[in-house]
Chains A and B, each alone.
Chain A
């Protein structure tokens, strides 16, 4: 009798857990029609963990650095772990998370996010963190990122956050309830083939009350430097050559000072726009905010030479690497072809379209 009761209770609990799981899978955003970048964090786990260079940062890395170009030109195996408005603590924990799977030789951090000393928006936290696999790193990342009105439990059980989507569900929510969405990025890079030129002078930033980066940003930069040091990784700092948001000279001098103090390589590509060959009338899809694929390939070809010079190995002769990257190159070319066809047919690109 007693065992029957226990059995019944166990079945009920299992049914409850199953329903909870199904509902959660259904209601979680799939990021297929809007804010597609919400798929980036999870895509990393499906990659071959053979990266010698890992980029961390916001859209200034995932829209401007093409790992396929780094591979094709220099045989550098790299991955971009970025998400929209990825703040420095997001980047730190993305790195800590990546180190659970692999230890790159070089980590490149894009410094734009040093300008944000506090969480900006819950939506960006979700885009960065919901796709992260559960671990103590994820817990720390959530705690570091939450705004005061957010709760830890809603990250652990996202249904508590997204249950109100029931009246916004679409066919993709069913289609991708139990299967993966199509691969959006190629090595963490998001491609755009279209062009919206910058035809005026680049915008100049308004005066600020205080140009100092927040203490918490320095704290996380220091944590990132220590983490790299402990793991024998060379930390490199970069600033992408995009004209907006404006990068103030006062910010530049703080980063330069830090890099010099700790003997870190720092590349501000805004200083090398001409040498790289970036033309803001052809190499950007949004008036200089982000590079299109043509600009990203130029930047990556330039940066790859520097990365090779500081120790990123050429893996083209190694069979495992060559096989792994051949697939990525094929995917990259397919995405480029697909977008060019869309552009030719419709005259415009929206979001980051990829073939199924």
Chain B
């Protein structure tokens, strides 16, 4: 009887151990597990970078190192909470671009840079108002393309060119989910 019970308990333990290794998305399995949010785990920019005020940064950069150096913000940052968890996204508004970060990792990490007008350009020289051909002359053939624009995927991020009336109407650096 005792032997059988012991065997059954061992089976239970093995089942649980097996589940550990089954790759079922076990990151923590807890209440506190945060919703999926884009961020750079090492807080280091990846892929294409944006440069402004002599500061070069990108998706994955730590916000603390960047925001204060970018000059005056045009509006108060807007922070939005996740519906269920503690993670927060914040948008920082500058005259010609917006930077968004989130705090899931415990640090503020940039996951989006959005260029709104032609007073700023990508490090490689692309800006709002260019034709798709002009952009492709700089970056080559895009990784993805649709009626609304085209994208270049690089090292976990996407450089997106949005189109309106046949020209680039906005550019974004965004984490590639």
- Residues of A whose CB lies within 8 Å of any CB of B are 8-9, 11-13, 15-16, 19-20, 23, 29-31, 33-35, 37-38, 58-59, 84-85, 120-124, 127, 147, 149-151, 154, 159-165, 168, 199-201, 203, 206-211, 244-245, 286-287, 289
Query: Is A16 in contact with B169, judged by CB distance below 8 angstroms?
Result: no
Contact B36 A121, beta carbon cutoff 8 Å = yes
Looking at chain B's contact residues, the main secondary structure is mixed
The minimal Cβ–Cβ distance linking A349 to chain B, given in whole angstroms, is 13
Chain B residues with a Cβ closer than 8 Å to the other chain, count: 51
**Minimal Cβ-Cβ distance residue in B for A285:** B81
B 9-29 binary contact with A (CB < 8 Å = 1; else 0): 101100110011011111011
CA A154 – CA B1 in complex, angstroms?
Answer: 30
Q: Which residues of B contact A151 (CB under 8 A)?
A: 22, 24
- Asked if B26 contacts A164 (CB within 8 A), the reply is yes
Known: A16-B12, A160-B16. A287 touches B29 (CB 8 A): no
A206 near B29 with CB under 8 A, answer no
Q: Could you say which of B11, B78, B169 contacts A287, with CB atoms under 8 Å apart?
A: B78
Closest residue of A by beta carbon distance from B98: A206
Shortest CB distance B108–A (Å) = 18
- Show 12 residue pairs from A and B whose CB-CB distance is below 8 angstroms, ordered by the A residue: A13-B8, A16-B12, A29-B30, A30-B31, A37-B84, A123-B33, A150-B24, A154-B24, A159-B16, A203-B91, A244-B80, A286-B81
- Whether the Cβ atoms of A123 and B35 lie closer than 8 Å is yes
Residues of B within 8 Å of A159, CB to CB, are 16
Query: Could you tell me the distance between the alpha carbons of A162 and B28 in the complex, rounded to whole angstroms?
Result: 8
Complex interface residues of chain B between 58 and 100 (CB less than 8 A to chain A): 75-76, 78-86, 91, 98
Nearest chain B residue, comparing its CB with the CB of A209: B148
Assess the B31–A33 pair: CB atoms within 8 A: yes
What 19 new A-B contacts, CB under 8 Å, besides A38-B84, A151-B24? A12-B5, A15-B5, A16-B11, A31-B31, A34-B85, A37-B84, A120-B35, A123-B34, A124-B35, A154-B19, A160-B16, A161-B19, A161-B26, A164-B26, A165-B29, A206-B98, A206-B172, A211-B148, A289-B81
Proximity string of chain B (143-177) to chain A, C-beta cutoff 8 Å, 1 when within and 0 when not: 00011110100000000101010000110100000
